[in-house]
Amino acid sequence: MKRGRILGAVLLAALPIALAALPLAAPAAAHTDLASSTPVDGAYLSVAPSRVVLEFESALLPETVNVSILDSQGALVTEVDPDVADATVSIAWPASLPAGDYSLAYRVVSGDGHPVTGEIGFRYASSSSASPSAASARATPSASASASATLGTPAVASPPPAAPDDQNGTPAMPNLVIGGVLLLGALVVSGIFAARARRS
């Protein structure tokens, strides 16, 4: 009987200590997990994303974050240098990667030292920036259309230059009349001078 009382007293004394230790044990047992991502896992995009963002449930150790891009077969495409801010990991998506299916594999370590690995997958129909050759190819039909429109438009004949007055029959007659009058005037003046010369 005395032993039972002693055991009960020990348990009652230990209970407050155990309850006080629970809040301290909870963070140590809580490991970070992926909370969300942009784009979401399984997304189908029309164009490649400019950035991929991973949001975790708790802060990460930046020096332990590793991110890799895998192709549709799970083969490594490239490793990328992530930007880590508290619980957020983001990467700039390589613009050189063509359309297709890709996975982003990650390995992070939370503040309690627990490693977490996983991946998200998505695909896109075309790259985010068109190559110069593609842009040139798109521009060629427009240029061809302009050229075709130019060739298809009938040329408008320019009117022939106006013929000089001396090639036109109508204006030539006044010129002849003026010439005749001047010639007649010259003859009259010559006759007057000749008559004066005879008188003198």
Beta-carbon neighbour count of residue 198 at 10 Å? Answer: 7
- pTM here is 0.52
DSSP string, 5-52: HHHHHHHHHHHHHHHHHHHHHHHHHPPP-EEEEESPTTEEEEE--SEE
Three-class DSSP category at 149: helix
Alpha-carbon distance of 38 to 54, in angstroms, equals 7
pLDDT value for 28: 44
- SS3 (DSSP) at 159: coil
- Mean pLDDT, consecutive 10-residue stretches, the chain (200 aa), reads 53 52 47 92 96 96 96 96 96 96 96 92 81 48 49 53 48 62 73 71
Residue 34, pLDDT score = 96
Q: Map out the domains of the chain as residue ranges.
A: 37-126
- Note the CATH architecture for domain 37-126: Sandwich (2.60)
Q: Say how far apart CA 73 and CA 94 lie, in whole Å.
A: 19
User: Tell me, what's the pLDDT at 190?
Assistant: 72
Across 57-138, the runs of DSSP E, i.e. the strands, are 66-70, 76-80, 83-85, 88-92, 100-109, 115-126
Q: What is the pLDDT of residue 24?
A: 46
User: For residue 145, how far is the Cα from the chain centroid?
Assistant: 25
SS3 content of the chain, % helix, strand, coil (to 5): 45, 30, 30
157-163 contacts at long range (C-beta below 8 A, 24 or more positions apart):
none
